[in-house]
Amino acid sequence: MKNKAFKRFIYRTCVLLFSLPLFSFKILPDTTKKDSSVYNGYKVRTIVVDAGHGGKRAGANGAYSLEKNVTLALAFKLQKAIEKDVPDVKVVMTRTTDDDILWQKRSDIANDAKGDLFISLHCNSLSDKTITVNGRKKRVPDQSGRGVLVLVYGFHRGGNANGGDIEEAAAIRENLFEEKDVKGGSGVDFNDPTQMILLNAFKNKYRKQSIRFADIVNDEFKETDGRPSEGVREQSILILCHSAMPSVLVETGYINNPKEEDYLNSDAGQDEIVATLIRSIQIYKQQVEQSN
């Protein structure tokens, strides 16, 4: 390995990583609990806020609104709320206009900013359903969907024909080390077992922290706000798979349900969603920043 500093970091970190106990995927927002998987002195410094869809990819639609507009409005409100209520955190937006941003570009923005948390905002929708009327089948809108859903990336990318593991490992390394180390080093050596052990360990760490934050968000929506919730699910999502940091996608409500559409477009509804995310960020931040 040409980069001696990187090699020394790997050996030291491997010893640290594998001396730490694993913790459960299901972690309740207990602000007094210590997290032995987080380094001393770690701080959540940068949060990336992603407004889903944009441009011609309008996303789901309701009777009078489009997902891309709802998510952008929520993203702006979340940005302002973070700057006000979590002032020591920098906010990076993946889009601030109606322009569409490709999935990979959104991940690149997050990784270039060395984000500590990635939050992608979306609206849910159900496909039409088939009913029988007077003996005839008919397609009608399914407006039964209610509440929130929080998604994290499913950890089953091995053997990705598109080189997903290689791209993700490179992204993780760029997020871990200073730019001068990345530019001046030899890159990731996929034949070096030590490097791969370290990178896989960090992939596991991001997954666990993603689930940790998703659980907090879900509990805040469900327990504090009383919103219906479909829980936390793992799913293969392009916007999350190359983000080298804890990442979640929040389906804030069903835009094709008339009551939910009104909620998602109202100031009161948007303010409640943002307040829930702010509480979740504060709880998560306090947990992971506690010293060992």
Q: Which of 43-52, 137-146, 191-200 has the lowest mean pLDDT?
A: 191-200
Residue boundaries of the structural domains of the chain: 40-161+205-289
Mean of pLDDT over the chain: 79
Query: Which comes out higher in pLDDT, residue 64 or 34?
Result: 64
Predicted local confidence at residue 194, as pLDDT: 63
Q: Which CATH superfamily is domain 40-161+205-289 in?
A: Zn-dependent exopeptidases (3.40.630.40)
Q: Which pLDDT score is estimated for 222?
A: 96
Which three-class secondary structure state does DSSP give residue 172?
helix
Segment 228-238, tens digit of pLDDT: 999 999 887 76
Residue 185 has pLDDT above 70, yes or no: no
Residues composing the chain = 292
> What is the pLDDT at residue 141?
86
Q: How far is CA 117 from CA 86, 105, 157, 168, 248, in A?
A: 13, 16, 21, 16, 8
Q: Which residue type does 190 have?
A: F
- Quote the pLDDT of residue 171: 56
pLDDT tens per residue, range 241-275: 778 899 999 999 999 999 999 999 999 999 999 99
Q: With helix as H, strand as E and coil as C, how does the chain read? A: CCCHHHHHHHHHHHHHHCCCCCCCCCCCCCCCCCCCCCCCCCCCCEEEEEECCECCECCCECCCCEHHHHHHHHHHHHHHHHHHHCCCCEEEECCCCCCCCCHHHHHHHHHHCCCCEEEEEEEECCCCEEEEECCEEEEECCCCCCCEEEEEECCCCCCCCCCHHHHHHHHHHHHHCCHHHHHHCCCCCCCCHHHHHHHHHHHHHHHHHHHHHHHHHHHHHHHHCCCCEEEEEEECCHHHHCCCCCEEEEEEEECCCHHHHHHHHCHHHHHHHHHHHHHHHHHHHHHHHCCC
Using one digit for the tens of pLDDT, what is the confidence trace for 3-54? Answer: 555 455 454 554 444 444 433 333 344 444 444 444 456 899 999 999 999 9
What per-residue confidence (pLDDT) applies to 155?
Answer: 54
Higher per-residue confidence, 194 vs 263? 263
Residue 203 binned pLDDT confidence (cut-offs 50, 70, 90):
low
Mean pLDDT of 181-206: 59
Q: Which two tokens stand for residue 147?
A: 């509440």
